Amino acid sequence: MAKNEKPNYAPRSTYITGFIISVILTLEAYFLVVREALPYWILIFTVFALAVIQTFVQLFFFLHLDSESKPRWKMTTFLFAGLVVIIVVFGSLWIMTNLHYNQEKSYSPEEIGKYIEEEEAIYR
């Protein structure tokens, strides 16, 4: 670490700023959803974006990822974990939405059971 030994020693104001921004972002997402202020997909995208922004606010203001010193191993491992998360989540969604019966929300439990038996030869 740096010359004087204070690894994660951030001033109190950092925590207060991070906390206030997080509260504002949380309330913003909450009220956007409760009032259904935007069309479906735009609302989902906006609310998700607010969550991502809050994540970075907390990573910087609470976890001080920005003030890490040179080799930046924490940032490296974080970015790698982020890559794995994106592959796992979006890869799973991609594959599963391609499965036909999973797309049909209007099937009753009986119909889904029948469909699985007939189309995929999986019996109870």
Contact residues for other proteins, defined by CB under 8 A:
1, 5-10, 12, 15, 18-19, 22-23, 26, 29-30, 33-34, 36, 40, 43-44, 47-48, 50-51, 54-55, 58-59, 62-63, 73-74, 77-78, 80-82, 84-85, 88-89, 92-93, 96, 102, 105, 108-109
CB of 32 to other proteins, least distance (A): 9
CB hemisphere CA count around 29 (13 angstroms):
16
CB of 123 to other proteins, least distance (A): 18
CB of 5 to other proteins, least distance (A): 5
Under 8 Å CB-to-CB from 18, ≥6 apart: which residues?
57, 58, 60, 61, 62
CB of 122 to other proteins, least distance (A): 15
Task: Check: CB of residue 107 under 8 Å from CB of residue 115.
Answer: yes
User: Can you read off the two tokens belonging to residue 90?
Assistant: 């979006």
Nearer to other proteins among residue 106 and residue 121 (C-beta): 106
Q: What is the DSSP secondary structure assignment for residue 119, as one 8-state letter?
A: H
Query: What totals of helices (H) and strands (E) does the chain contain, helices first?
Result: 5, 0
Nearer to other proteins among residue 26 and residue 67 (C-beta): 26
> Residue 121 — φ and ψ, nearest 5°?
55, 40
